[in-house]
Chains A and B, each alone.
Chain A
Amino acid sequence: MDLRFSAEELDFAEEVRTWVKANLAPATRDKVLNAKRLGKQDYSTWHASLNDKGWAVPAWPVEHGGTGWTAVQRHLFDEVLAEEGAPELPAFSVKMIGPVLIAFASDEQKSHYLPRIRSGEDWWCQGFSEPGSGSDLASLRTKAVLDGDHWVVNGQKTWTTLAQYADMIFCLCRTDPTAKKQMGISMLLIDMKSPGITVRPIITIDGAHEVNEVFFDDVRVPAANLVGEVNKGWDYAKFLLSHERTGIARVGRSKRALLRLKAMAEQELADGVPLAQVPAFRDKIANVEIDLMALEISGMRLLAAAESGHAPGAEANMLKIKGSEIQQRLTELMMEAVGPYALPFNPDARDLAWNGEPIGPDYAAPLAPDYFNFRKTTIYGGSNEIQRNILAKSKLGL
């Protein structure tokens, strides 16, 4: 048993760090480190840089452009990127649909889509949730009916993250309304420019436009865009949701948030004393830091298990629960740190280019909005209650 990284692993991390420092656009880095608003261009440029370096799809098989790194190297890569302020690329393309296509798609689909995912040419979004199908995802009703060599899709998806940027959507559709609910679902790859698709923004309580409703009105999708077999979509969805779970803890991101929190707690004064030295607040920081230390080692234990060939099982659900709670706690404490300056709502200040006079400390503007926004973390990706249901069943046998 040895909790320290080997010299080779640390050298690898340094190599990644040096490269990121040299290749990440300073403006993008500033946005990430200071919680400013990121645009599509920030993501695309970064994705292109990674692709030029051959690092866009580390976990994929080498034949499809993967790096062949060990699980520990992939973990260190994610960590260093998070620490250095690289934008976290949405998981939908590289981490979600990519592995599904590699596992289940036809050769034609692979040779068409995989290079475009790797290069970042296509932006993908995820068509799973529906207004009536959240935790009970398998009850989804968006239907696809075969008409000659096309599927005709009708229905509605919701909570579709960054659909406003997307070129493609992977979409679960009901293809057999008579079958048991999990058995009649298929996965289709749909061009977002198809006639009949309407994207309508959902503005969340922080004022952000992150998620959308996507409507399908007689959308015609080539039959060749079916993934794998018809009515097997639920299996692919489960595969997708269980893949790359090791990143779900968001340790790197939370470590960065902890540093921001500590920096604020040194700046902010209560009765002339830095908040970091006020025992009540100091202890709150210490508590979340300790939780994060535990989470990091739990994540490494999962990695080590993955390295020796065990599929991440129930442990990944545990990481999701703790990781999301820690992210929320950190946003809450940052909001708390600025005291009354949590109140002013100044969304313009989230633009890096905005050069108006800040209201209060320059780091205050995003804090309350981020607190509100991050309530999502215990809801998305299977709510934490669903995670507990899964754990109760799969790990505890209840």
Chain B
Amino acid sequence: MNFDLTDTQRMLQDTASRLIRERYSFEERSRIVASPDGFSREIWAMFAELGLLGVELPEEYGGIGGDFQDLAIVLDAFGHGLVVEPFLPTVILGAGLVNAAGTPEQKDKILPEVVEGKLFLALAHGEPKSRYNLAHVETKAARSDDGYILTGAKSVVLGGDCADLFIVSARTAGAVTDEHGISLFLVERGSPGLEIRGYPNVDGTRAAEVTLEGVHVRAALLLGEEGAAHPLIVHAVDRGIAAVCAEAIGVMAALNDLTLDYLKTRTQFGVPIGSFQVLQHRMVDLVVAQEHAASLAILAADRANSADAKDRARAVSAAKVMIGRSGRLVGQDSVQMHGGIGITKEYAGGHYFKRLTVIDRSFGDADFHLARFATL
């Protein structure tokens, strides 16, 4: 048992933290969010240059061959900065899936481009009626002469507005909620019949509604085995959860720092409001919540790539429940202790609150994962 950072992790922490500190101030981030793309290609190029896009990918594709704990270090730093660049959809979900299920040709083509920052990916899986059920796929993939014809609708596709390449789930067999019969396809932006309606999310990240109307996909663009994608998707989403949990710890830490600082500097009745015991105890509860959530985020990162699906699910769902609960507490109480300033656009605090709120709604909320955990 060992909680010390490795040399690689220390290096990644320094690199990512310095980048956030020097290039990703709250003002800079606000400018980025307000830009037409809603993220910065310049920052993305820096991620590539610093090796952050290939942390977990094998060296043969230009990565550094690290593990998920290494990624978690980077995500924690991104949480501090409220990074809106599409790291989660491209690196964690997209590249993770290609690396796990791709053919050698698919990996050779896609992964180096991701590492170099030239390709954005998105996982188009959720649907208007699926909510958090990963087996619910209505989108159909019908066989054609040399491949498949995809028809259906995908909702709230993270990173979908800028993605160059979509990993689309569609049903090649089975009924709407069957685990069996789901397949994954690589669909390029610009494919005839593919319609993308991009939009900002409430936290400044971006997503898209994606419609497929008879989109033709060559057989070579099937990702993984036909009909057997469900476990791949579950694993990808578990990785996504471990990622947002690691990020949420950074978010909570940064927000708690802000709140604590506010308690020490804001004066009312002639004294700093942090001298009031009622606020001291609330603040302590937020820090305790952050620390205990951090423990499970570490566990989730430790198990994110575990081949034992049950062990992995247990760790990941427990972490997601805890992050949901703690994030809600930290976010809401921070606003309350700040007073009105906490819900103004010009102040960073409220933006951390928004990110925590979005994280709880991503990949299944606390209620969903509590039920999943309880029925494993």
Contacts and interface: CB of A to CB of B under 8 A. Distances in A.
A291 B274 contact: no
Given A293-B299, A315-B291, A389 B280 contact: yes
Contacts, number: 116
Contacts of A305: 3
Contacts of A5: 1
Contacts of A303: 1
Contacts of A286: 321, 370-371, 373-374
A230 interface: no
B277 A389 contact: yes
Interface of A is mostly: helix
A219 to B, nearest CB: 38
A334 to B, nearest CB: 17
A3 B371 CA distance: 25
B302 interface: yes
B263 A398 contact: yes
A398 B282 CA distance: 12
Interface residues of B, number: 37
Interface string B1-31: 1111110010000000000000000000000
Nearest to B260: A396
A283 B299 contact: no
Given A2-B1, A290-B321, A290-B322, A391 B293 contact: no
A148 interface: no
A398 B274 contact: yes
Contact of B322 (A6, A294, A385, A397): A294
B141 interface: no
Given A301-B3, A388-B281, A392-B280, A3 B299 contact: yes
Contacts of B277: 389, 392
Contacts of A398: 260, 263-264, 274-275, 280, 283
Interface residues of A, number: 42
A320 B184 CA distance: 48
B287 interface: yes
B299 A282 contact: no
B55 interface: no
Nearest to B272: A398
Contacts of A295: 292, 295
Given A294-B295, A294-B296, A298-B295, A1 B9 contact: yes
8 contacts: A2-B2, A286-B321, A286-B370, A297-B295, A301-B3, A304-B2, A389-B281, A396-B284
Interface of B: 1-6, 9, 69, 260, 263-264, 274-275, 277, 280-281, 283-285, 287-288, 291-293, 295-296, 298-299, 302, 318, 321-322, 370-371, 373-375
Interface of A: 1-6, 9, 72, 279, 282-283, 285-287, 289-291, 293-298, 300-301, 303-305, 308, 315, 318, 321-322, 385, 388-389, 391-392, 395-398
> Lowest 9 A-B CB distances belong to which pairs?
A297-B295, A392-B280, A286-B374, A294-B292, A304-B3, A388-B284, A398-B274, A290-B318, A388-B281
